[in-house]
Amino acid sequence: MDTPNAAAPSWLSSSTTIAQLATALAAAQGEMEDASKDRRNDHFGSRYADLASVVQAVRAPLSKHGIAFVQPAEWREGRLTVRTVLVHKSGEWMASELSAKPQQDTPQGIGSTITYLRRYSLMSMTGIAPDDDDGEAGEGRDGAAKRPTKEEREAAKRQQEQADAQRRAAHDGAWAKEQAGFFAQLKTLGVDYEREVKPFCEHLQRPKPSEMTSEDRARLLSYLGTDAGKNKLMQFLTGAAAK
């Protein structure tokens, strides 16, 4: 095989000359047909050409014009790298690499990522336009996470609304039990709930005490009892009065 071409761009390595390879590849491309979209990505609801279809589309034209391809894969610093090499019968060659990190470090996740890299590398090197993207496969999901239906989305919304209502009811119940004691502690601090505490909480972009959890109400009382809290409240009230 010819020696590498140091003048090749960084994304592509090649032999010193590729004149015969380029001529043969141009002829092969003239005979290639688009890879058929024979696989379905359930997550996106689209169809795409799998690796077998890509290989079927390019192998015969490449072989006819004296070109073979190899696609070894290897680990590099936690990422999978596939090197696609086109080799001409003259000894000329060119190669390109594509890398990705599998989302799942499992045989299925690794295999899916290698397949994804091989498919896109081969399409890129041979000039076949990529079809609908199924990048989810490269992430190790391969259509496993289906887009929720309208009924599923509505059911999830109802569940969320029920959970929110239960939380509000729990807060309201705690407030009913703690309200008298909360007011008594505010009185001890010399602070008025309606005229001072509620507007102060709104100023801080916090919920009003009746909508807080018991823990947050306790923290608010502790804060108002500190010098920092008293000064902050006084600054707010002075500013509000000035307006």
CA angle 176–177–183, rounded 5-degree value: 80
For 174-209, what is each residue's pLDDT tens digit? 788 888 998 999 999 998 988 899 888 888 888 888
Helix axes 227-242, 214-224, angle to 10 degrees: 80
- What's the pLDDT at 82? 93
- What's the pLDDT at 71? 94
CA distance 166 to 20: 74
For 60-94, what is each residue's pLDDT tens digit? 999 999 999 999 999 888 899 999 999 999 999 99
- What's the pLDDT at 127? 86
Choice among 5-14, 79-88, 135-144 with the minimum mean pLDDT: 135-144
Task: Tell whether pTM > 0.75.
Answer: no
Instruction: Tell me the Ramachandran region of residue 142: left when phi exceeds 0, alpha when psi lies from -120 to 50, beta otherwise.
Output: left
Domains defined for the chain, CATH in brackets? 12-138 (3.30.160), 150-242 (no CATH)
- pLDDT above 80: residue 99: yes
- Residue length of the chain: 243
- pLDDT above 80: residue 138: no
Greater pLDDT, 134 or 148? 148
Greater pLDDT, 44 or 113? 113
Helix axes 214-224, 150-189, angle to 10 degrees: 30
For 51-69, what is each residue's pLDDT tens digit? 888 888 889 999 999 999 9
Instruction: Tell me the Ramachandran region of residue 81: left when phi exceeds 0, alpha when psi lies from -120 to 50, beta otherwise.
Output: beta
